[in-house]
Chain A
C-alpha cells in the first residue's frame, strides 16, 4: 500500500511539474513572438523569409500540442498556421505582408492564453 501511495505522490509531482513547465514555454513563445513582431516593424535585425517560415512551422507545432492538451486557443490563428505551414511544405510563395500579419495574430493569441493562465 505504501508503494502505491508513493506512486501516487510521484505521479502528482510529475503532473504538477509538467503544468508549470508548459506555462513557462508558452511565456517564452510569447516573448519570442513579441520580439519578432518588434523586429518586423523596425529596420534592425529584420527577420528573413526563411526565419518567418520557420516561425510558421514552430507555431503550428505549438498550437497542435496546445489543442491536444485541450487548451482553448484562437482557432483562426491555428487554422492559419495549418494553412500556411502546408504552403511552406509545398514550397508555395507567401508574401511578406501575409507573414507579418500572421506573426502579429500569433502574438495576440499567446497573450490571450497567458491571460487565461493568470485567472
Chain B
C-alpha cells in the first residue's frame, strides 16, 4: 500500500503553488498534531476530511494528495533502491573480510599440518593451466593408491601419499585458494614442502597490517599462558593420581605383611 511520508508532505507544502491560507493552516495543524512519520492515503484523506476546510479547498487537496502520493511512491522507490545497493555493498565488504580472515586461518592451519607431515605438492602442477586446481586434487587423491616419488631437501628419494586431511582441506578451501591466486598458493606449498615452515608462515603473516599483527602477537601470548595453565593442571592431576595409586599399593603391601 502506498504511504505518504510526512517529511515529503512538509516539503511539498513549502513549495505549494497555491498558497491558500486555509490549506496551509490546516496542513500545518495536522502535521504538528501528529507524531506519525507516514500515513496511508486513506488515513490521510480521513484526517483531512475531518479538518475545517471548505469544498473548494478539499478539491484542491485531492489534487495535492495525488501528487503527494506520487511523490511518496518515487521517494520510497529511491529509498528502497538505495537501501538494496547499500545492503549489497555491505554484504560484499563483509564477505571479502570473512574470506580474507578464513584464508589466513586456513593457510595457518595448513602450515601447521605441513610442519608435522612435510609433503611435496609441487609435482602436481608442473603444467599449470585453468584446471590446475582439479589436477592438483586428482593427483593428490591418486597418490593414496600409488605413492608419488619425490626428493627431500637432501636429495633422498621419498614415496609420499597426500593425506586425506590435506585433500579435504584443499577441497573445502577451493574457493579461497583460487582467490588468493595460484602463484601465492604455489609459493606457500613450495615453502612448506621444502621444510621452510618459518618462511611459509612469514608469507601468510606479511599480508597483515601492523596493528593486526600486534594483536595476533598479544593473542599468542595469552594462548601461551593458557597452555601453560592447562599443562600445570594436567601435571597436578597426574601427581594426585600417582599419590593415590602409591598410597593404595603401600596399604596393600602393608596389609599382606600384617
Contact = CB atoms under 8 A, between A and B. Distances in A.
Contacts of B216: 28, 32
Contact of A22 (B116, B217, B224): B224
A61 B229 CA distance: 13
B214 A45 contact: no
B231 interface: yes
B64 interface: no
B245 A4 contact: yes
Contacts of A39: 210
Given A21-B227, A31-B205, A35-B205, A58 B214 contact: yes
A32 B213 contact: yes
Contacts of A34: 202
A24 B10 CA distance: 66
Given A4-B245, A15-B231, A25 B198 contact: no
A89 interface: no
A48 B210 contact: yes
Given A18-B230, A65-B225, A31 B201 contact: yes
Contacts of B221: 29, 57-59, 61-62, 65
Interface size grouping (class) on chain B: 20 to 34
Interface in A52-78: 54-55, 57-59, 61-62, 64-66, 68-69
A25 B220 contact: yes
Interface of B: 112, 115-116, 197-198, 201-202, 205-206, 209-211, 213-218, 220-225, 227-228, 230-231, 234-235, 237-238, 241, 245
Given A47-B210, A55-B217, A114-B198, 11 more contacts: A4-B241, A8-B241, A27-B198, A29-B220, A54-B214, A57-B218, A58-B217, A59-B221, A61-B221, A62-B220, A69-B231
Interface of A: 4, 7-8, 11, 14-15, 18, 20-22, 24-25, 27-36, 39, 45-48, 51, 54-55, 57-59, 61-62, 64-66, 68-69, 114
